[in-house]
Amino acid sequence: MSVSSPSVFLVNVMGQIECGRFLNGDNLRFHCCFTAGHDWEVVTGLEEFMSQTACRSDDERQVFVWNFPFDITFKSTNPFGWPQVILSVYGTDFFGNTVIMGYTACHVPITPGKYTRRLTTFVPESASTVQKLLSWLTGRRPEFLDPKLIAQGRGREVTRVRSQGEVTITFNVMMKDFTKFGYDCGATGKTPYLAVQPQPQRSVTVPSEGQSEA
Amino acid sequence: MVSFSPPPSFQVKKSVWTLMAEVHIIGQLSGTSGFPCASLFCKWSLQLGGGWKVVEGVSEGQTQADQSDTGNTSTWCHPIDLHLSTRGIQGWPRLLLQVYRQDDLGRVDLCGYGVTHVPTRPGHHTLVCHTWRPVGTFGEEVRRAFLGGGPQLLSTEFIHSSLERYRLHTIAAGLVHLELGIILRNFEKYGVIY
């Protein structure tokens, strides 16, 4: 690691997408992607991935466990456009069709540390009751064309959704050189700045009147 | 108005003192709880003082309308990502929230107003904003219960201004939940502690 003045800061996010709780549906799998602003770039790690297919547990918890690990590092010069994680959960309904079970998104935590987030998922609603009945029978439920829509604020006012289910994600966040840019994200354990050690001052004695330097 | 200006005895290049203090607000409007109606959405906007400037990001918006299955809570997951710069701490940003409900016929009805200051300490914050709505006469309330359409504020100034609030008669509505992360920059260079 270099101690010269840095040109980018790094944010490393790792963790697991632990489990999901949904009342309906079975054989759930999710598609996950990380999205960030224009100033951000992925250094290492997978930006998009798909999980295994999980069945509902037999016990009273009725939970879908994926325990899916992720590890990604971003570099940037500007906190604007902070990375977000977007999840699209798919499953089979009563008739065996693969339908969308929920979308959710959240920002990666901005302070280093360990976090557990429980995110509620939602699905788009049909425009009318007739369409709702038809989509329930044919198994073609309304979906977002591009799941990255839910990571944006624009265009959300025309969407009608129904919230159902939740997903639990654990994050571990580390940063490098973030404070050297002058940013303060509320991190408690500050890494000591690696600077050149100051030379010890030699004491200088000034001879007063009547005394020689010796 | 307190603004940042260099002390006269300090000999320094002018370019250092044109550094603006910056605030990043990164988070989301999570949802609501405690509202007695479903299919809620929120119109939010950022209220800034005179010395502030929005560098990047959208300072107002409208969330999706959530017809929730899960009891009396709604989920919006509406992201907020703002980059602001300022010359002073007066007029610290505030979020104005107006919660409406949309029924099956597409009519929009007011459910609550709320205002919350953006936190001043960097880090992650979970905020809960209490909302209220204006209350009419007994006849208006009965009409609102059956037909909708109760009294609304003509101007959003009443939500954030402290001066004119004494004119209002209000009743409590539900709670709006926000998760905000705050990153500050260059504030300690001006001697501001938080």
B61 vs A120: CB contact, 8 Å cut-off? Answer: no
A159 to chain B, closest Cα gap in Å: 5
Q: Is B104 helix (H, G, I), strand (E, B) or coil?
A: coil
A151 Cβ under 8 Å from any chain B Cβ: yes
How many domains does chain B fold into? Answer: 1
Taking only the tens place, the pLDDT of each residue in B159-193 is 888 888 888 899 999 999 999 999 999 998 888 88
Is residue B53 domain-resident? yes
B65 vs A161: CB contact, 8 Å cut-off? Answer: yes
Is residue B85 domain-resident? yes
The pLDDT confidence band at residue B13, using thresholds 50, 70 and 90, is very low
B62 to chain A, closest Cα gap in Å: 5
Contacts of A151 in chain B (CB under 8 A): 79
A142 contacts A149 by C-beta, under 8 angstroms: no
A159 vs B70: CB contact, 8 Å cut-off? Answer: no
Is residue B2 domain-resident? no
Q: Which residues pair with A69 in a beta bridge?
A: A16
Residue A84 CB neighbours (<10 A): 23
Is residue B1 domain-resident? no
A161 contacts A125 by C-beta, under 8 angstroms: yes
We report the CATH number of the domain holding residue B156 as: 2.60.40.150
**Within the 75-114 window of chain A, which residues sit less than 8 Å (CB to CB) from chain B?**
78-82, 84, 104-107, 109-111
Q: Is B73 helix (H, G, I), strand (E, B) or coil?
A: strand
**What residues contact A157, with CB distance under 8 A and at least 6 apart?**
B41, B61, B62, B63, B64
DSSP state of B70: S
Can you tell me the ipTM of this complex? 0.80
Gap between the Cα atoms of A209 and B134, Å rounded: 85
Q: Note down pLDDT in tens along chain A; length 214 residues.
A: 555 678 999 999 999 999 999 998 899 999 999 999 999 999 999 999 999 999 999 888 899 999 999 999 999 999 999 999 999 999 998 888 999 999 999 999 999 999 999 999 999 988 888 988 998 888 889 999 898 989 988 888 888 899 989 999 999 999 999 988 889 998 865 555 544 444 555 556 665 565 555 5
Contacts of B55 in chain A (CB under 8 A): 80
Number of A:B CB contacts under 8 A?
Answer: 131
Per-residue burial over A154-192, b if 16 or more Cβ lie within 10 Å, else e, is eebeebbbbbbbbbbbebebebbbbeebebbbbbeeeee
The pLDDT confidence band at residue B156, using thresholds 50, 70 and 90, is confident
Nearest chain A residue to B61, by CA: A153
Contacts of B78 in chain A (CB under 8 A): 153, 156
DSSP characters over chain A: ---SPPS-EEEEEEEEEEEEE-SS-EEEEEEEEEE--TT-EEEES-SEEE---BPPPSSTT--EEEEEEEEEEEEES-STT--EEEEEEEEE-TTS-EEEEEEEEEEPPSSSEEEEEEEEEEEEPPSSHHHHHHHHHHS-----SSGGGGG-STTGGG-EEEEEEEEEEEEEEEEESTGGGTEE---SSPPPP--PPPPPPPP-PPP-TT----
Contacts of A161 in chain B (CB under 8 A): 64-67, 75
A163 vs B57: CB contact, 8 Å cut-off? Answer: no
B123 vs A164: CB contact, 8 Å cut-off? Answer: no
Is residue B39 domain-resident? yes
Which of B24, B61, B77 is facing A104, going by the closest CB pair? B77
The pLDDT confidence band at residue B104, using thresholds 50, 70 and 90, is confident
Q: What is the mean pLDDT of chain B?
A: 86
Give me the mean pLDDT over the B83-108 stretch. Answer: 90
Which of A156, A163, A184 is facing B75, going by the closest CB pair? A163
Fill in the amino acid letter for B132: W
A110 vs B64: CB contact, 8 Å cut-off? Answer: no
Residue with the two structure tokens 């999901």: A20
Say what the pLDDT of residue A2 is. Answer: 52
The two structure tokens encoding residue B37: 């109606």
DSSP state of B19: P
Contacts of A11 in chain B (CB under 8 A): none
A11 Cβ under 8 Å from any chain B Cβ: no
Is residue B108 domain-resident? yes
**What residues contact B93, with CB distance under 8 A and at least 6 apart?**
B23, B25, B46, B47, B48, B52, B82, B84, B117, B118
Is residue B3 domain-resident? no
Residue with the two structure tokens 């990001």: B57
Residue with the two structure tokens 């930006």: A47
**In terms of residue numbers, what domain contains B91?**
9-190
Q: Which residues pair with A33 in a beta bridge?
A: A48, A86
Residue A150 CB neighbours (<10 A): 26
Residue B153 CB neighbours (<10 A): 15
A184 vs B122: CB contact, 8 Å cut-off? Answer: yes
